[in-house]
Amino acid sequence: MEFVVEPWHWFVLGILLILSELIIPAFAALWFGIAAIMVCFLYWLFPDISLTTQIVLWIILSVLCTILWFKFIKPLSIDRTKAGLPREATIGQIGMVIQTGLAHDQIIVRFPMPILGADEWNCRSTSPVKVGDRVRVIDISGNDLIVQPHSTS
Protein backbone atom coordinates (compact mmCIF):
# COMPACT_ATOMS: atom_id res chain seq x y z
CA MET A 1 0.00 0.00 0.00
CA GLU A 2 1.46 3.32 -1.07
CA PHE A 3 1.23 6.41 1.13
CA VAL A 4 -0.47 9.29 -0.66
CA VAL A 5 0.02 12.81 0.64
CA GLU A 6 -3.26 14.70 0.93
CA PRO A 7 -3.78 18.44 1.42
CA TRP A 8 -4.83 17.88 5.04
CA HIS A 9 -1.41 16.33 5.75
CA TRP A 10 0.21 19.65 4.90
CA PHE A 11 -2.38 21.47 7.02
CA VAL A 12 -1.69 19.26 10.04
CA LEU A 13 2.06 19.65 9.54
CA GLY A 14 1.62 23.42 9.39
CA ILE A 15 -0.45 23.52 12.56
CA LEU A 16 2.04 21.27 14.38
CA LEU A 17 4.95 23.49 13.31
CA ILE A 18 3.11 26.64 14.40
CA LEU A 19 2.23 25.06 17.76
CA SER A 20 5.82 23.94 18.21
CA GLU A 21 6.69 27.63 18.62
CA LEU A 22 5.22 27.32 22.10
CA ILE A 23 8.05 24.92 22.97
CA ILE A 24 10.89 26.00 20.66
CA PRO A 25 12.10 29.55 21.43
CA ALA A 26 13.81 30.03 18.05
CA PHE A 27 10.82 31.69 16.31
CA ALA A 28 11.66 29.81 13.09
CA ALA A 29 9.15 26.97 13.00
CA LEU A 30 6.33 29.49 12.60
CA TRP A 31 7.40 30.36 9.07
CA PHE A 32 7.76 26.69 8.11
CA GLY A 33 4.24 26.10 9.46
CA ILE A 34 2.76 29.01 7.53
CA ALA A 35 4.48 27.74 4.38
CA ALA A 36 3.05 24.23 4.96
CA ILE A 37 -0.46 25.67 5.24
CA MET A 38 0.14 27.62 2.01
CA VAL A 39 1.22 24.37 0.29
CA CYS A 40 -1.98 22.77 1.65
CA PHE A 41 -4.11 25.37 -0.12
CA LEU A 42 -2.05 25.21 -3.32
CA TYR A 43 -2.31 21.41 -3.35
CA TRP A 44 -6.05 21.65 -2.71
CA LEU A 45 -6.45 24.10 -5.62
CA PHE A 46 -4.12 22.14 -7.94
CA PRO A 47 -4.37 18.43 -7.00
CA ASP A 48 -2.00 17.33 -9.81
CA ILE A 49 1.09 18.72 -8.04
CA SER A 50 3.70 16.01 -7.47
CA LEU A 51 5.21 15.34 -4.04
CA THR A 52 8.58 16.67 -5.22
CA THR A 53 6.96 19.91 -6.37
CA GLN A 54 5.09 20.18 -3.05
CA ILE A 55 8.32 19.84 -1.08
CA VAL A 56 10.12 22.37 -3.29
CA LEU A 57 7.19 24.78 -2.91
CA TRP A 58 7.30 24.30 0.86
CA ILE A 59 11.03 25.08 0.96
CA ILE A 60 10.65 28.15 -1.28
CA LEU A 61 7.65 29.46 0.67
CA SER A 62 9.43 28.85 4.00
CA VAL A 63 12.44 30.86 2.87
CA LEU A 64 10.19 33.57 1.41
CA CYS A 65 8.15 33.87 4.63
CA THR A 66 11.33 34.07 6.71
CA ILE A 67 12.86 36.73 4.46
CA LEU A 68 9.64 38.79 4.47
CA TRP A 69 9.59 38.61 8.28
CA PHE A 70 13.16 39.84 8.73
CA LYS A 71 13.02 42.40 5.91
CA PHE A 72 9.65 44.07 6.48
CA ILE A 73 7.80 43.00 9.62
CA LYS A 74 10.49 42.68 12.32
CA PRO A 75 11.89 46.22 11.79
CA LEU A 76 8.45 47.58 12.69
CA SER A 77 8.67 46.01 16.15
CA ILE A 78 12.02 47.45 17.24
CA ASP A 79 11.83 49.09 20.66
CA ARG A 80 13.05 52.63 20.18
CA THR A 81 12.88 53.62 23.85
CA LYS A 82 15.87 54.03 26.08
CA ALA A 83 14.09 52.25 28.98
CA GLY A 84 16.38 50.07 31.01
CA LEU A 85 19.54 51.29 29.33
CA PRO A 86 22.50 52.28 31.47
CA ARG A 87 23.56 55.74 32.47
CA GLU A 88 25.90 56.03 29.49
CA ALA A 89 22.97 55.77 27.05
CA THR A 90 21.18 58.63 28.82
CA ILE A 91 24.14 61.01 28.89
CA GLY A 92 24.23 63.07 25.72
CA GLN A 93 20.50 62.86 24.91
CA ILE A 94 19.05 66.14 23.65
CA GLY A 95 15.62 67.48 24.58
CA MET A 96 13.60 70.69 24.64
CA VAL A 97 12.66 72.75 27.70
CA ILE A 98 8.86 72.84 28.00
CA GLN A 99 8.46 74.41 31.45
CA THR A 100 10.59 76.54 33.75
CA GLY A 101 10.18 78.17 37.17
CA LEU A 102 9.42 75.03 39.15
CA ALA A 103 10.34 74.52 42.80
CA HIS A 104 14.02 73.96 43.61
CA ASP A 105 15.12 75.56 40.29
CA GLN A 106 13.86 72.59 38.27
CA ILE A 107 12.76 72.63 34.65
CA ILE A 108 10.79 70.07 32.64
CA VAL A 109 12.42 68.75 29.48
CA ARG A 110 10.73 66.67 26.78
CA PHE A 111 12.88 64.23 24.81
CA PRO A 112 12.05 63.03 21.27
CA MET A 113 12.09 59.39 22.43
CA PRO A 114 11.60 58.05 25.93
CA ILE A 115 14.64 57.96 28.19
CA LEU A 116 14.54 55.37 30.97
CA GLY A 117 10.81 54.93 30.32
CA ALA A 118 9.62 58.55 30.23
CA ASP A 119 9.74 61.27 27.58
CA GLU A 120 9.37 64.18 30.05
CA TRP A 121 11.82 64.65 32.92
CA ASN A 122 12.38 67.03 35.80
CA CYS A 123 15.82 68.42 35.22
CA ARG A 124 18.29 70.83 36.74
CA SER A 125 20.19 73.13 34.42
CA THR A 126 23.79 74.23 34.85
CA SER A 127 22.91 77.66 33.43
CA PRO A 128 19.71 79.66 32.88
CA VAL A 129 17.41 78.38 30.11
CA LYS A 130 14.01 79.37 28.81
CA VAL A 131 11.08 77.46 27.29
CA GLY A 132 11.98 76.23 23.80
CA ASP A 133 15.73 75.95 24.43
CA ARG A 134 17.46 72.71 23.53
CA VAL A 135 19.42 71.07 26.32
CA ARG A 136 21.75 68.08 26.55
CA VAL A 137 21.92 65.62 29.46
CA ILE A 138 25.34 65.71 31.13
CA ASP A 139 24.68 63.77 34.37
CA ILE A 140 22.08 62.05 36.52
CA SER A 141 21.50 63.11 40.13
CA GLY A 142 18.96 61.02 42.01
CA ASN A 143 15.67 61.29 40.11
CA ASP A 144 16.72 64.39 38.18
CA LEU A 145 18.73 64.77 35.03
CA ILE A 146 21.41 67.45 34.95
CA VAL A 147 21.33 69.33 31.66
CA GLN A 148 23.19 72.17 29.98
CA PRO A 149 22.17 74.30 27.01
CA HIS A 150 22.94 72.56 23.73
CA SER A 151 24.78 74.57 21.12
CA THR A 152 24.03 73.60 17.51
CA SER A 153 27.46 74.60 16.24
pLDDT at 103: 81
Model-wide pTM > 0.75: no
Q: What does the alpha-carbon distance between residue 114 and residue 84 come to, in Å, rounded to a whole number? A: 11
In the chain, what are the domains? 7-77 (no CATH), 87-149 (2.40.50.140)
pLDDT digits (tens, 9 = 90+) for 53-63: 999 999 999 99
Q: What does the alpha-carbon distance between residue 37 and residue 19 come to, in Å, rounded to a whole number? A: 13
